[in-house]
Homo-oligomer: A and B are copies of this chain.
Amino acid sequence: MKNAPKPSKALLKQIEEQGDELAYLQRKCKEHGIPILILVEGLSAAGKGTLINRIIQPLDPRGFKVSCIASPSRDEQLRPFLWRFWSRTPSTGRIAIFDRSWYRNLLDADIDKRMSETGLARAYEDVRAFERQLRDGGTIILKFFLEISKEEQTTRLAALQANPATAWRVDDAVLQRLDRYKEYNDAVTRMYRESDTDAPIPWIKLQAKDSYQATANAQRVMIEVLGKRVKLAKKDGFSTPKPNKPVPLPHFSNAPKLRDVDLSSSLSKKEYLKLIEEKQAKIHDLHYEMYRRRVPMVIVYEGWDAAGKGGNIRRLTARMDPRGYEVIPVSAPNDIEKSHHYLWRFWSEFPKAGHLAIYDRSWYGRVLVERVEGFCKEWEWKQAYREINEMEENFVNAGTILVKFWMHIDQKEQLKRFKAREVSPNKRWKLGDEDWRNREKWKPYEEATNEMFMRTHSCSCPLDHY
């Protein structure tokens, strides 16, 4: 804003000092592995870019990333709405700054009436779950909204238009939006309401008129919130605070149970060979059809070691076009994955519409191996049931066909297969000490599996067993 009034020396000094304080807190948050997500919303010319630039100036550029949220790209359009935001969430100790955010889509959809009332309500629900999940995973979320009057906006847009270097920023869409200032304001009012109901992640409103004062105010809130968390982290030596309320546990009474699986059913070799040829040909055609219609599809394989997940996947994909499917084997998270929310890697790998992603093990590891082996806290895996249901609902809302298989064998059959692996030169490598150790924990795994069925067999995506 070239012609804006000059700030007082005292205010400039305050901004500088607060900047130093924030740089210090940034280092502390990095030390404690605290992820920070900052989003800045506001009308055109409210000064989002200026605010962000002043905030980042004193920070260590190694530790933050600014994302500008424009209209979704073709690649992003082919994914669920929150996909592009999930993939940009900050890892431990880093700051992700969003210039506009997921709210942009919702505000635009509201104003342009591009969504039904139900659709919009559901989208806000998805957003609330998204923010809550991140927060419960330890991320600090700061949501700033730069408020600007219609008069001030008009003046600023005129100033931008007068400068040849910035005139292009004031395009028709911006001017149309200015004309509909009141409707925009109504949509913002709804946004404030929607996002404050369930999840107490409050909006921080900033008066945009004086951009220096807005900067100082934003810094002050950041210092307060970051400072508080850093203090907590010092005390507990742990950056993810345990939720105060008890974790809600979903329950589906129609869920299958392991003991009900009929392990005696079988096929003769001849029947099998006939069937598999027939089905593979059918799958070959359906896979192309799915691609043509741009249906996203996700198949989850879970099951006991040596239950035959790998072989099953191989036979499923034998005649598929490799350009349209991907097998995603899930093992222990790597360093990058560990530094993110546990659902981040599954969101990031979500397939493009028309493609098939086959997960060989999946997000259910949170309530199976991580639970049984104690890799996460009890409240964390209990919390995961709801989070997993929410994620799958997100997928299904985006039109995804989601199929979940549990490959079941009993302990006797597993032992037989382990022994066969031991003597086969091509399969020996598949069998490790871990498999034998897991086998000894059959009971707790069985219990965890049955509870998993009970808590995640939701109507939109029930678990199938095989």
**A53-B322, A326-B66 given as contacts; is B2 within 8 A of A281 (CB)?**
yes
Q: At the interface, yes or no: A314 with Cβ under 8 Å from chain B?
A: yes
Q: Which residues of B contact A57 (CB under 8 A)?
A: 314, 317-318
Chain B residue at smallest Cβ distance from A62: B329
Asked whether A62 lies within 8 Å of B20 as measured between CB atoms, the reply is no
Chain B residue at smallest Cβ distance from A329: B62
Asked whether B285 lies within 8 Å of A163 as measured between CB atoms, the reply is yes
- How distant is the Cα of A176 from the Cα of B62 in the complex, in angstroms? 50
Asked whether B99 lies within 8 Å of A323 as measured between CB atoms, the reply is yes
Q: At the interface, yes or no: A68 with Cβ under 8 Å from chain B?
A: yes
Chain A, 280-323, contact with B by CB distance < 8 Å: what is the 0/1 string? Answer: 01001110110010000000000000000010011001111111
- How distant is the Cα of A169 from the Cα of B285 in the complex, in angstroms? 12
Q: At the interface, yes or no: A335 with Cβ under 8 Å from chain B?
A: yes
Return the contact of A336 from the options B23, B165, B336, B360 (Cβ within 8 A): B336
- How distant is the Cα of A448 from the Cα of B214 in the complex, in angstroms? 47
Q: At the interface, yes or no: A426 with Cβ under 8 Å from chain B?
A: yes
Return the contact of A66 from the options B166, B168, B318, B323 (Cβ within 8 A): B323
**Which of A27, A68, A323, A329 has the most B CB atoms < 10 Å from its CB?**
A323
20 additional A-B pairs beyond A53-B320, A166-B288, A335-B335, beta carbons within 8 Å, are: A23-B426, A49-B323, A52-B322, A53-B317, A53-B318, A56-B322, A57-B314, A57-B317, A57-B318, A60-B329, A61-B360, A68-B323, A163-B285, A165-B284, A165-B286, A165-B289, A166-B285, A169-B288, A334-B336, A336-B336
Asked whether A24 lies within 8 Å of B165 as measured between CB atoms, the reply is no
- How distant is the Cα of A319 from the Cα of B56 in the complex, in angstroms? 12
